[in-house]
Chain A
Amino acid sequence: MSKLRLIPKLLLKKSNIFKNYVVVTSEKYSKYRDVGDLISMAKIFQDQRSDELIILNIDDNNITDFNHFCNLISKASEEIFMPLTVGGGINQLDQISKLLDSGADKVSLNSIIYSDPHFIEKSSKKFGSQCIVASIDYKLINNKSRVVFNNGKIITEIDPYDLAKKIVELGAGELILTSIDNDGMKNGLELDVSSKIANSINIPVIISGGCGVSNHFCQALSTNLFSGISAGTFFVNRDQNFYETRSHILNAGLDIRK
């Protein structure tokens, strides 16, 4: 059986000062803070043997600066020998081609799901479902969980449970669920909505948003519902060493890579 996966998530934004991409952390999809250089961080996670890496371009100009992003992905892919998922405003098939040619293994589709959900179907048919990851962000609005697009800017009436089922039908190979409410808060992952969703679909589900201590990973993985956990702030701030985290999770009896 495949091992449960620990996946660092690196968010890219243009630095206000230097006009090039830097890695940032976020809190509830705002309060972005510069934390470092993409290539250096990629090398660190390669050395720390993370299971996969996710790189997301959350800059406002992510579609116009696409070639610049591809070049960065190309450089990053020269440093890492693990599966790489990339995303950020992808809305055309040839963008997926270029990213795969630049060294990405999978692409993450998020905002395009709002305007053209059938893009999932088109890309899955062309590149294979194993290449296409659907990414759904959600938050609580009036006590109901609702899907949010465009990095928190477009709030919808859509229930993530319904959307999750739809993206499976459309051919997505994996699903990443991120709780905006928990993002960057270090208080733990959101498990109610995400468990209900993971229980009802049969593609791998990775959850993200809120890891603060190793135990948060253990709690989520012990449910046996998720294929992996993705974390941004947790891994990037290195409050806790990756090796220590892995050790802690292994000691909890969870089946991750040693």
Chain B
Amino acid sequence: MIGVVNYGMGNIKSVYNAFYYLGEEVKICQKKNDFNGISKLIIPGVGAFEEAINIINNSDLHILIKEYVENKKIPTLGICLGMQLMAKKSHENGIYEGLNFFDAEVIKIPIKNKTIPNIGWNEIEFDRNDILFNGIKNFSDFYFVHSYFMKCNNNNDISSTYHYDGSIITASVKKENIFATQFHPEKSQESGIRLLENFINWNP
């Protein structure tokens, strides 16, 4: 049973639809009892860091997420803002502390000629041996919508990148039981669906 954290910000339905399509049972997790019996966790997110982390900190979700991700170490997927929340801190419209799953900071995408947010399809580059990208061609397009990205202090955490306006931007990170993507796999057509399928079968 896959749990999707609902803190009021995020395209829950799209994530739900994608896993339902893949034949997986999905449970929306808001309170403590919701988390019972889940074997994998998704943390989605669309919007601004400050609002999201405040909602999480002011509810049981803060404790529950840490318990399931850090203590129980269940396989976890963060998407978009959900990925950024996993950083140590974010610089979006202020300085806010994140869940600190990754030694990283969320900063604005540096731009020269292009505009932000970057909305659209971009080719990502990853290690061919990465099990989560199994069956996906390197330099496949995934769908991004963001102005900020996760800058990692530990390069080993980065599992895929893409180029935007001359900079290398973190597209996904992976460490132990946690995998997180800046792009939206549930919006990335067949490549995204394959990635979610790989996550379903992932036993780190």
Contact = CB atoms under 8 A, between A and B. Distances in A.
A81 B193 contact: yes
B18 interface: yes
Which one of B14, B18, B164, B187 has the highest number of Cβ atoms from chain A below 10 Å of its Cβ? Answer: B14
B165 interface: yes
Interface residues of A, number: 31
A100 interface: yes
Interface string B99-125: 000000000000000110111111000
B47 A128 contact: yes
Contacts, number: 81
Contacts of B14: 77, 81, 103, 105
A78 B16 CA distance: 9
Given A77-B14, A105-B11, A174 B119 contact: yes
Contact of B192 (A77, A81, A103, A258): A81
Interface string B1-33: 000000000011110011011000000000000
6 contacts: A1-B165, A49-B189, A82-B188, A127-B47, A174-B119, A204-B120
Interface in A66-97: 74, 77-78, 81-83
B115 A103 contact: no
B144 interface: yes
Interface of B: 11-14, 17-18, 20-21, 46-48, 114-115, 117-122, 141, 143-145, 163-165, 184, 186-190, 192-193
A72 to B, nearest CB: 14
A218 interface: no
Contacts of B122: 1-3
A173 B116 CA distance: 9
A102 B17 CA distance: 11
Contacts of B46: 128, 130-131
B17 A103 contact: yes
Given A81-B188, A128-B48, A257 B13 contact: no
Which one of A1, A3, A128 has the highest number of Cβ atoms from chain B below 10 Å of its Cβ? Answer: A1
B13 A227 contact: no
Contacts of A5: 120-121
Main secondary structure of the interface of A (DSSP, over half): loop
Interface of A: 1-3, 5, 46, 49, 51, 74, 77-78, 81-83, 100-103, 105, 127-131, 173-174, 202-204, 227, 257-258
A202 B187 contact: no
Contacts of A173: 117, 119
Given A81-B17, A101-B12, 19 more contacts: A1-B122, A1-B163, A1-B164, A2-B144, A5-B121, A46-B189, A74-B13, A78-B17, A81-B14, A81-B18, A81-B187, A81-B189, A83-B187, A103-B11, A105-B145, A127-B47, A128-B47, A173-B117, A257-B141
B17 A130 contact: no
Contacts of B121: 2-3, 5, 51, 257
A77 B18 CA distance: 10
Given A204-B119, A227-B120, A105 B13 contact: no
B67 to A, nearest CB: 28
A51 B21 CA distance: 19
A202 B113 CA distance: 10
Given A128-B47, A128-B48, A257-B141, A81 B186 contact: yes
